[in-house]
Structure 1
Amino acid sequence: MPRKDQGWITFQLPEAERQLLESYCERMQRSKTDVLRQLVRGLDRELSDLSLQIATPQKSAPTRNLEIRAMRVSARNVFPAIVKQVRLGSINAEILLEIAPNVEAVSVITRSSAEALELTAGKPAYVTIKSSDVMVAVDD
């Protein structure tokens, strides 16, 4: 029987979450242990990024006094990512983000938002997916 003092962690997941984890592992051809290790290592990076953001003075709009603080969002699916590419159009910007090795997401936001966030290749960011905005497609 594994023991906690040996570094083993055991926990139970609801059936839907267990199936999601198994499906992800199968698609990525990685073990559950590898996926969970990557998640834990990402938490360390996420915490250091968060403390850096809070400790670093932020630019504020000249007409408003903005307080920068950590926040929570209502979307359940928030993934740390790295900006891979920014394609600026006249009105919108297409942002390519890498969530994990060989896992990318694309976001289309306004050009002014991309500029305000100072998005550039290599910059850490977060991908937030709200389930009510997920679309479904099928092959013909």
Structure 2
Amino acid sequence: MPRKNQGWITFQASAEERQILESYCQRSQRTKTEILRELVRSLESAAVDPPLDDAKDLEEAEIADVPQASDDSFDWAISARNLLRAEVKQVTLSGVSAEVTLTIGSTTELVSVITRASAERLHLSVGKEVYAVIKSNSVMIAAIAP
């Protein structure tokens, strides 16, 4: 039996809550432990910055420390080689996370799950031009065996 002094946390969840977590894990291809750790780590920033109520608030949020520069006057650089210009198609807020669907080109969609705080800081809204930055130590490829 896990013990509290070993770092284990146990709690009861309803069947509906367990189903939500399972579904989220499948969609994001991450484990329950990874999801719950992200949730716990996000609580510190959530305590400082109250969460937005819905996507409309996300579009209207004003965050003072974000540079408000035009493309001509603001330069930035990044080390990642895979930088894809995209447009935000949808932002779905859920607790401490945000699922962001991007359109790349005319037919390709990319879905990213980021923290709600990041979505707020980036002022993500439908139609906003953004960049998908893909940096990974490994890219796995799967195929159906012949």
TM-score by length of 1: 0.49
Larger helix fraction of residues: 1
TM-score by length of 2: 0.47
Instruction: Report which structure shows greater RCO (CA 8 Å, sep ≥6).
Output: 2
